[in-house]
Amino acid sequence: MEILDCVSTVARPIHDFGDEFMSDEATAAIGREAGFAPGRGFYCRGRFGVLGEAPAPVVQAVQGFLGPGLVTAGWLAGRPVMPAREAAAHYARAVRTWGRAHIPADVDVEHFNHLARQLIDAADADALPLFAGWRAQPCPDDDPVGAAMQRIHVLREHRGACHLAAVRLCGLSARAAMVVNLGVEQATHYGWPGPHPVAAPLIPRWRRAEQLTDELQAPLYATLTGRQRTELARLVRAVTASLTPTPTPTPAP
């Protein structure tokens, strides 16, 4: 399989599988058991806790795509519960727990972990701090299914960080990119109150940002052989086979 073909093939299932984990009530329940109140505290403190005790505006700048009010409220709500790195460890355990419940039992997770770890270890993390933080998070070898889910999450953070850079390079704000990609209603759900429909001339910029994201990820997937890329694509499909089918987002009119 060619490099960019592999990048585009695995991007959607990796993203969507991570989305299902993040939005699952079972994940929220783990946060409540850890002491977090209902809301975004566990999500923000857990996912972004790998950054350490950063001020909320720094967390916002690193993650980009969620509205600043949502991130600030969630980050500050989670702060009294536990230190940032401890929250990240709880979140990593939630990632692995969810993976054990949703990755099919017949998947060759050992082979997936071998290829995913090769990708993650070889990645250049410059300008990708959230990815770098998650790559540094311990991933236990004695839980191969959970580890597979954690590596899905880490690869998702790599693409997200590349996409944020690509969006800005193409002259879009993160807010505008969210509106183009998801529409006004969904952008509002993700913390951008009252966003206005994006002007039509900005839509090609978003499409270029998607293409540039693939190009930014290409050196990562170039570390695999063509045969390994074919195997990775097959394994990603197998790992994420329980995904709820959803329509591919289209640019807002």
pLDDT value at residue 252: 31
Cα 32 to Cα 205: distance, rounded to the nearest angstrom: 40
Cα 183 to Cα 91: distance, rounded to the nearest angstrom: 29
pLDDT value at residue 27: 97
Enumerate residue ranges in the chain where pLDDT < 70: 195, 245-253
pTM: 0.93
Cα 112 to Cα 238: distance, rounded to the nearest angstrom: 10
pLDDT value at residue 250: 39
> In this structure, are residues 165 and 127 in contact, taking their beta carbons and an 8 Å threshold?
yes
Q: Give first-to-last CA distance, the chain, whole Å.
A: 34
pLDDT value at residue 140: 93
Sign of CA dihedral 107, 109, 110, 116: positive
Buried b (16+ CB within 10 A) or exposed e, 25-40: eebbebbeebebeebb
pLDDT value at residue 249: 44
| pLDDT (tens digit per residue) in 76-133 | 999 999 999 999 999 999 999 999 999 999 999 999 999 999 999 999 999 999 999 9
In the chain, where are the structural domains located? 3-239
Nearest to 111 by CA among 242, 230, 244, 243: 230
